[in-house]
Amino acid sequence: MTHVTPGIDSTPPVGSSLGEMDLDVTTAAASSSAFVATADFTLPPVTLTPLPHLADHLKGLPVLPTPIDRSPFYHPSPGFYIGPSDIILRHILFDLSSSESTPSSRLLAYHRAGPRRTVRFKPSAVRAAIVTCGGLCPGLNTVIRELVVGLWEIYGVRQIFGVPSGYRGFYSAKPVPLDPKMVDGWHKRGGTVLTTSRGGFDAEKIVDGIVKHGFDQVYCIGGDGTMRGAVKIFEEIQRSKLCVSITGIPKTVDNDIGIIDRSFGFQTAVEMAQQAINAAHVEAESAVNGIGLVKLMGRSTGHIALHATLSSRDVDCCLIPENDFYLEGKWGLFEFLDQRLKQNGHAVVVVAEGAGQDIIPRTDAQKQEKDESGNPVFLDVGAWLKTELKNWWEREHPGELFTVKYIDPTYMIRAVPANATDNLYCTLLAHSAIHGVMAGYTGFVTGPINGNYGYIPLEEIAVSKNLVDTKDHKWAWVRSVTNQPDFLNIYS
């Protein structure tokens, strides 16, 4: 353990493993705080999460000055380089009056992302591989572009390859050489020019492919499954003591990866969803007893549905996988929509694709269905809901006019180029990943934590989940905007 005081550089000797550190942080309570008006309080010590480094299993790795210092165009200002004592706290909100929410033992921290003074790769010898896996997400091509341009321009790397068809491409496809000219306009294109796939994961074959092609830097862009795969590749690389640094760049339109603030492409998807909600609203408003029903992506999380609902304000009810709902009875969906139709003449329902899966009748075969990566295959909750709504209306209001317009913009919200905010985010992610890899870190993921970019061990990301917390303020906000039932089923 190394004890350092924040602000004082206590850089461990170069080449040593950058392991766990203790940082003691004591601070005074803000005088504006009503609860602790004048009292001092002490925050617990900080534990810095260790980050794997190539030097952990490869002795004698060279320590080279960063090529950034030799750039004729850019002269780093003091404080530009990030040192091993630069950290980001995982949690930043505490209730000092509650022993439960005030961390009693230690505060968790991560290394900050960014350029280091020294690198562990000779740029002219680097052979970098970039792969995209899993479903599409706005910004994939931007990340690829910025990895290529960043490696080329910032560090002078010249051998950069795209691996086609996802993980299987490492052992079944020919890598494609990439350069800045080739990728120049890619950030304006949806999808992934490299192509992607699900399934086909075989750690041994993939590592053999990495060795065969002489790759020493591997950039894996993908979602939770991709990160779990990257952990296995990382373990295999470590077992074989290869000089290969592997990093993950979390991609998921569902925003279901934990620890990081959000994943790239998510904001673009939320923005695209507005068009579908607007159309559903217009259709519903223009009908007699009209219901506009929109199904949005979200396999196990309702983040897109939730954010699209909050941004739109035209939504009467938002259904997400994290919050079970029911149709009939007191405070059920039908009763609620009946009231809304009486009040407003129309209603808009947004449903995440993973919502209600437990109440849709299905055969045993359907229960077993999985995609190539092992993800469960869902039934179409939107189509089912549309039928159920029609049956309910015919039962309860026979002969009265009623319309359900079902809009399923599934692939339209993810098969688009990233918006400006996501493009900027993708650029920062790509550059952060490059800086970490060039510095010799491996088995890590880069992402924003409380607004600043950090490096998180792949193992941690792979098991992390980001579900909508139906007990927090954001979900309470949805309920205050829509006034929808909580579906707790405690009223009968």
Ligand X SMILES: O=P(O)(O)OC[C@H]1O[C@](O)(CO)[C@@H](O)[C@@H]1O
Ligand Y SMILES: Nc1ncnc2c1ncn2[C@@H]1O[C@H](COP(=O)(O)OP(=O)(O)OP(=O)(O)O)[C@@H](O)[C@H]1O
Q: How far is the CB of 461 from ligand Y (least distance, A)?
A: 11
Query: Phi and psi dihedrals of 75, rounded to 5?
Result: -120, 105
Cβ nearer to Mg ion, comparing 268 with 375: 375
**Number of residues in contact with ligand X, rule: CB under 6 A?**
11
- Give the N- to C-terminal CA distance of the chain in Å, as an integer: 58
Contact 114, 435 (CB under 8 A): yes
328 φ/ψ sector (left φ>0, alpha ψ -120 to 50, else beta): beta
DSSP run (H or E) holding 448: strand 444-449
Distance CA(38)–CA(31), nearest Å, equals 6
Give Cα separations from 24 to 47, 228, 458 (angstroms).
9, 33, 26
**Number of residues in contact with ligand Y, rule: CB under 6 A?**
21
Cβ nearer to ligand Y, comparing 162 with 292: 162
Distance CA(449)–CA(458), nearest Å, equals 15
Contact 106, 53 (CB under 8 A): no
Residue 133's binding partner among ligand X, Mg ion, ligand Y, none (Cβ under 5 to 8 angstroms by kind) is: ligand Y
| Residue 254 falls in the annotated catalytic set | yes
Contact 449, 259 (CB under 8 A): yes
> Does 21 appear as a known binding residue?
no
Among 53, 262, 303, 414, binds ligand X (CB under 6 A): 414
Cβ nearer to Mg ion, comparing 316 with 322: 322
Active-site residue identified among 86, 216, 254, 316: 254
Cβ nearer to ligand Y, comparing 217 with 301: 301
Three-state SS for 118? strand
Q: Which stretch binds ligand Y (CB under 6 A): 227-235, 282-290, 309-317, 357-365?
A: 227-235
Among 115, 164, 225, 457, binds ligand Y (CB under 6 A): 225
Query: Phi and psi dihedrals of 87, rounded to 5?
Result: -130, 165
Contact 81, 116 (CB under 8 A): yes
Summarize the chain as % helix, strand, coil (round to 5): 35, 20, 45
Question: Can residue 224 be called a binding residue for ligand Y (CB under 6 A)?
Answer: yes
Angle at 314 between CA 313 and CA 316, to 5 degrees: 100
Question: Can residue 224 be called a binding residue for Mg ion (CB under 5 A)?
Answer: yes
Angle separating helix axes 140-155 and 420-438, nearest 10 degrees: 40
> What is the residue type of 104?
S
Q: Which stretch binds ligand X (CB under 6 A): 119-127, 237-245, 294-302, 469-477?
A: 294-302
Q: How many of the other CB atoms lie within 10 Å of CB of 343?
A: 10
Q: How far is the CB of 132 from ligand X (least distance, A)?
A: 12
Q: Which stretch binds ligand Y (CB under 6 A): 24-32, 130-138, 327-335, 476-484?
A: 130-138
Pinpoint the alpha helices (H) of 97-223: 140-155, 169-172, 180-183, 203-213
Q: Which stretch binds Mg ion (CB under 5 A): 114-122, 155-163, 221-229, 308-316?
A: 221-229
Residue nearest to Mg ion (CB): 223
Question: Can residue 250 be called a binding residue for Mg ion (CB under 5 A)?
Answer: no
Q: How far is the CB of 134 from Mg ion (least distance, A)?
A: 6
Question: Can residue 369 be called a binding residue for ligand X (CB under 6 A)?
Answer: no
Cβ nearer to ligand Y, comparing 230 with 276: 230
Q: Which residues are catalytic?
A: 254
Q: Which residues bind ligand Y (CB under 6 A)?
A: 133-135, 166-167, 198-201, 222-226, 228-229, 232, 252, 254, 373, 375
Q: Which residues bind Mg ion (CB under 5 A)?
A: 223-225
Q: Which residues bind ligand X (CB under 6 A)?
A: 135, 223, 252-254, 297-299, 353, 371, 414
Q: Which residues are annotated as a binding site?
A: 135, 198-199, 223-226, 252-254, 297-299, 353, 411-414
